[in-house]
């Protein structure tokens, strides 16, 4: 099942070899560590660039959005097992 969310989140990330790799995030005061980055892509709305990261957590996979203009992270989707 895919759940659309859209909430603002706090993210901790690693900058390595020219890449930004999210390591985990805090959502509703709970910590969600990320185990593996599955996929990333970017979109552009006018001059605003949005980076998307799909990563596997402990109980679900998540899509995070990073707005390069505002520096705001959002949890955009949760991919739940058994879909």
Out of 8, 30, 46, 70, point to the residue binding other proteins (CB under 8 A). 46
Q: Which is nearer to other proteins, 13 or 56 (CB)?
A: 56
Out of 5, 43, 49, 72, point to the residue binding other proteins (CB under 8 A). 43
51 binds other proteins (CB under 8 A): no
35 binds other proteins (CB under 8 A): no
SS in 3 state form for the chain?
CEEEEEEEEEEEEEEECCEEEEEEEEECCEEEECCEEEEEEEEEECCEEEEEEEEECCCCEEEEEEECCCCEEEEEEEECCCC
52 binds other proteins (CB under 8 A): yes
């Amino acid at each position: 099942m895919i759940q659309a969310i859209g909430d603002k989140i706090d993210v901790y990330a690693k900058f390595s070899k020219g890449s930004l790799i999210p390591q985990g995030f805090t959502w509703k005061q709970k910590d969600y560590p990320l185990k593996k980055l599955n996929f990333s892509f970017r979109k552009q709305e006018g001059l605003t660039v949005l980076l998307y990261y799909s990563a596997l957590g402990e109980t679900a996979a998540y899509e995070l959005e990073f707005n390069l203009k505002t520096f705001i992270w959002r949890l955009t989707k949760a991919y739940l097992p058994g879909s």
